[in-house]
Amino acid sequence: MVDERRRSRLFIGATVFMAGALLTGVAMAVSDFPTGSYSSGPYTLEFKRDGSFQVVKSGYALVQGEYAVSGPQIRLTDKKGPFACTGPGQATGTYNWKLESGALLLSKVQDDCSDRSASFAASPWKKQ
């Protein structure tokens, strides 16, 4: 009985430790993403710490949505706006991201919204 309790405590302790390590790893990956504002031509792409993003032109939000980061990939989901891709199978696109010389570079992994993929991956987004 004593050995069984000890094994149970060790198992629970190890499980809690591993869960904490995994969560810390995920948090570190998300916190590595450089939130803020980036511009490309007349457009500004804003990533907020709360997981929301928007595309703005002349102070007007054209697309508003949510994003999620997993290591070198970002998943963008349009929610609303006159240029938002909200049709069946088009709301979410996945991109590889990297920050290079103060510019955010996005390359398409999978996105069925041709307008979003053409504009997001067309040129570097310079940090504001």
Domain count, the chain: 2
Query: 65 and 38 share a domain?
Result: yes
pLDDT band per the 50, 70, 90 thresholds, residue 31: low
pLDDT band per the 50, 70, 90 thresholds, residue 4: low
Query: 13 and 38 share a domain?
Result: no
pTM of the model: 0.74
Query: What is the domain range of residue 57?
Result: 34-127
Query: 78 and 109 share a domain?
Result: yes
Query: 20 and 77 share a domain?
Result: no
Query: 26 and 53 share a domain?
Result: no
Average per-residue pLDDT for the chain = 82
Note the pLDDT of residue 32. 78
Query: 3 and 16 share a domain?
Result: yes
pLDDT digits (tens, 9 = 90+) for 68-87: 999 999 999 999 999 999 99
Query: 56 and 21 share a domain?
Result: no
Determine the straight-line distance between the first and last CA of the chain, rounded to whole angstroms. 63
Query: 112 and 56 share a domain?
Result: yes
Query: 46 and 102 share a domain?
Result: yes
Which has more confidence, 12 or 124? 124
Query: 65 and 47 share a domain?
Result: yes
Note the pLDDT of residue 27. 37
pLDDT digits (tens, 9 = 90+) for 40-57: 999 999 999 999 999 999
Query: 18 and 62 share a domain?
Result: no
Q: Taking Cα atoms as reference points, which of 95, 113, 118 lies closest to residue 40?
A: 118
DSSP secondary structure of the chain: -HHHHHHHHHHHHHHHHHHHHHHHHHHHHHHTS--EEEEETTEEEEE-TTSEEEEEETTEEEEEEEEEEETTEEEEEEEESTT---STTTSEEEEEEEEETTEEEEEEEEES-HHHHHHHSSS-EEE-
Query: 41 and 103 share a domain?
Result: yes
Note the pLDDT of residue 25. 39
For residue 93, the domain's CATH number is 2.40.128.290
